[in-house]
Structure 1
Amino acid sequence: MVRIATLDDIPTIQLIAHHTWPSTYGGIISEQQIEYMLDLMYSTESLLQQMLKGHQFYLFEANTEKNDASKVLGFASVSNESAGVFKLNKLYIVPSAQKTGAGKALLSAVKDYAIQNGGKQLVLQVNKQNPAIEFYKRQGLSILSENVFELEKGFVMDDYIMGIDL
Structure 2
Amino acid sequence: MFTLRKATLADCELIQTLARQIFPSTYQEILTPEQIDYMMEWMYSLDNIRKQMAEEGHVYFLAYDESKIAGYVSVQPQGEDVFHLQKIYVLPAYQGAHCGSFLFREAIKYIKEVHPTPCLMELNVNRHNKALNFYERMGMRKLREGDFEIGNGYYMNDYIMGMEI
Give the TM-score category using the shorter length: over 0.9
**Structure 2 counterparts to residues 128-147 of structure 1, below 5 A:** 128-147=127-146
- Could you tell me the TM-score, scaled by structure 1's length? 0.93
Secondary structure (helix, strand or coil) at the match of 2:152 reads helix
For residues 42 and 101 of structure 2, the distance between their equivalents in structure 1, rounded to whole angstroms, comes to 26
For residues 140 and 5 of structure 2, the distance between their equivalents in structure 1, rounded to whole angstroms, comes to 23
Q: Among the aligned pairs, what percent are the same residue?
A: 37
Q: CA RMSD in A?
A: 1.0
What is residue 68 of structure 1 aligned with on the other side? none
Matched, 1:4 2:1: no
For residues 47 and 9 of structure 1, the distance between their equivalents in structure 2, rounded to whole angstroms, comes to 10
Q: Which runs of 5+ in 1 are unaligned?
A: 65-70
Letter in 2 for 1:29: L
What is residue 64 of structure 2 aligned with on the other side? 61
Moved over 2 A (4+): none
The alpha carbon displacement at 1:151 in A equals 2.0
What is residue 77 of structure 2 aligned with on the other side? 80
Secondary structure (helix, strand or coil) at the match of 1:40 reads helix
Matched, 1:91 2:93: no
How many residue pairs are counted as aligned between the two chains?
160
Secondary structure (helix, strand or coil) at the match of 2:30 reads coil
For residues 98 and 157 of structure 1, the distance between their equivalents in structure 2, rounded to whole angstroms, comes to 23
What is residue 150 of structure 1 aligned with on the other side? 149
For residues 103 and 24 of structure 2, the distance between their equivalents in structure 1, rounded to whole angstroms, comes to 21
What is residue 67 of structure 1 aligned with on the other side? none
Q: Which runs of 5+ in 2 are unaligned?
A: none
- Could you tell me the TM-score, scaled by structure 2's length? 0.94
What is residue 51 of structure 2 aligned with on the other side? 49
- Measured against aligned partners, the alpha-carbon deviations of 1:12-62 in whole angstroms (never above 9, x if no partner) come to 111111111121100101001001001011111101011113211000011
